[in-house]
Amino acid sequence: MAETRTILNYFIDKGNPLVILKYPKIEVVNNAQNSPLTNWSQYEIVVLINGDTASAAEIIAAALREYFPRNTVIIGETSYGK
């Protein structure tokens, strides 16, 4: 999960949620710690996945699509689905 947070910190504004982990009795929110490198909304973001893409890569793809719905394209096969 640390790698996921590191990568998403390059894209998501400081203070915004990166990942929310929901457990039966607790919810853990991981917020962005840094400011992004650039204004990513002005670029097309293309994420390539395949059938073996799982966990961290799926979280990154989903977060980018959530924060940048107009300019994020996910290409490839249906992922593992975790």
Number of folded domains that form the chain: 1
Domain interval for residue 68:
2-76
pLDDT at 25: 96
State the virtual CA torsion across 18, 41, 82, 80 in degrees, nearest 10. Answer: -150
How many Å is the Cα radius of gyration of the chain?
13
Output phi, psi for 76, to 5 deg: 135, -155
In a domain, 56, yes or no: yes
pLDDT per position in the chain (82 positions), as tens? 788 889 999 999 999 999 888 999 999 999 999 888 899 989 999 999 888 777 888 889 999 999 999 999 999 888 776 5
Output phi, psi for 7, to 5 deg: -65, -45
In a domain, 81, yes or no: no
In a domain, 57, yes or no: yes
In a domain, 13, yes or no: yes
